[in-house]
Amino acid sequence: MALFSKDIETFEQLYLHMLQDIYYAEKQIEKSLPKMIKKAGNPDLKSGFEGHLEETHGHVERLEKVFGLIGEDPKGTTCPAIDGIIKEADEVAGEISDQDVLDAALAAAAQAVEHYEMTRYGTLISWSDELGRSDCAQILKKTLEEEKAADEKLNKVAKSRLNRAA
């Protein structure tokens, strides 16, 4: 368990750690999306990022509600995975001067973020059910559905416009 934390000994502690992981990730995404909005040239991509930023605020609020339901204060734990995905997106975006190619890269980076979030929320829903916390599972399912929808929107924009233009 050194991969996560030396202090994790129970399934409940693992669950809490995963909630803290995705909470940290969502907070980092809240910080990163405004930068992506500024860099995006395609109006559909920009609009999609703006909409997802608003959704992300809701994701944070839902996570805070889940923390409350399990009697914990909302706090994050450093998530090297999301930090790496965001760092890679920043580096790639800094190296591309052609706006069409940049938009395709931004969409791909955003999809990497969505896929990470979908794995975490899927796991947390399963674990919530296992722990008898259907209340938490219901809250997390709403976010998972929004993440899937955001990924689908990005996919449609990329396939119909961005990739062709790049």
**Domain of residue 74, residue span:** 11-165
Cα 13 off chain centre by: 22
Return d(Cα 11, Cα 1) in angstroms, integer.
12
Q: How many domains in the chain?
A: 1
Please check whether residue 116 lies inside any domain of the structure. Answer: yes
Please check whether residue 2 lies inside any domain of the structure. Answer: no
pLDDT value for 166: 75
pLDDT tens per residue, range 67-126: 999 999 999 999 999 999 999 988 888 888 899 999 999 999 999 999 999 999 999 999
Q: Where are the beta strands (DSSP E) in the chain?
A: none
Q: Which two tokens stand for residue 95?
A: 């190296």
pTM of the model: 0.92
Please check whether residue 48 lies inside any domain of the structure. Answer: yes
Return d(Cα 15, Cα 127) in angstroms, integer.
7
Instruction: Read off the pLDDT of each residue in 52-81 and give the average, rounded to a whole number.
Output: 97
Please check whether residue 3 lies inside any domain of the structure. Answer: no
User: What CATH number corresponds to the domain at position 32?
Assistant: 1.20.1260.10
Q: Kindly tell me the number of DSSP H helices and DSSP E strands found in the chain.
A: 6, 0
Please check whether residue 4 lies inside any domain of the structure. Answer: no
